[in-house]
Amino acid sequence: MIQQQFLKWALIKSEQLKELGIITEVIKRNDIPDDDSIDKSIVVDHETTTLLGRIIVWESKQMEYTIASYETGECLVNKYIEKLDDKADFDLVLDTYFKVLLEE
C-alpha cells in the first residue's frame, strides 16, 4: 500500500520537477516472481546537471534516500527511515532531499 502511495506521488512530482530541469526515472522492483522472502521496492532516480538522487521505498515501509555529486562522487545526503507512517507526507519526509537537489 505504501508503495502505491509513493508511486502515485512520484509520478505527480516528476511532472513538477521536469519543469525545473530535473529528470525522473521510476524503477519498479516488484517483478520478482512469487518470492515472499524478498522485500520488493520502488526506486526513483532524479538527475540534475551535477547531482544524482535516489529514493527507495520498500514494501516493508522502509525508505532510504541518497544524493551524490557527479563531479566528485561525494555523497551529500544519505538517510534511512526504518518505518514510514501509513499516511506519510512524502513532500515533508523528503524535504531535505529536495532542498539539496534543487540548490545545485
Question: Which three cell numbers, joined as nine digits, stand for 93?
Answer: 519526509
Distance CA 67, CA 57 (A): 15
What local confidence, expressed as pLDDT, does residue 3 receive?
86
61 found inside a domain: yes
21 found inside a domain: yes
Q: How many domains does the chain have?
A: 1
The total of other beta-carbon atoms located within 10 Å of residue 10's CB is: 20
Question: Is pLDDT at 27 greater than 90 in this prediction?
Answer: no
> Which stretch of DSSP H or E encloses residue 65?
strand 63-69
pLDDT tens track for 49-78: 999 999 999 999 999 999 999 999 999 999
35 found inside a domain: no
Q: Which residue has the higher pLDDT, 66 or 103?
A: 66
Sequence-separated (6 or more) residues with CB below 8 Å from residue 17: 24, 46
Whole-model pTM?
Answer: 0.89
Nearest Cα residue to 47 out of 17, 27, 77: 17
State which residues form the domain around 56. Answer: 2-30+40-102
Region 38-57: mean pLDDT is 93
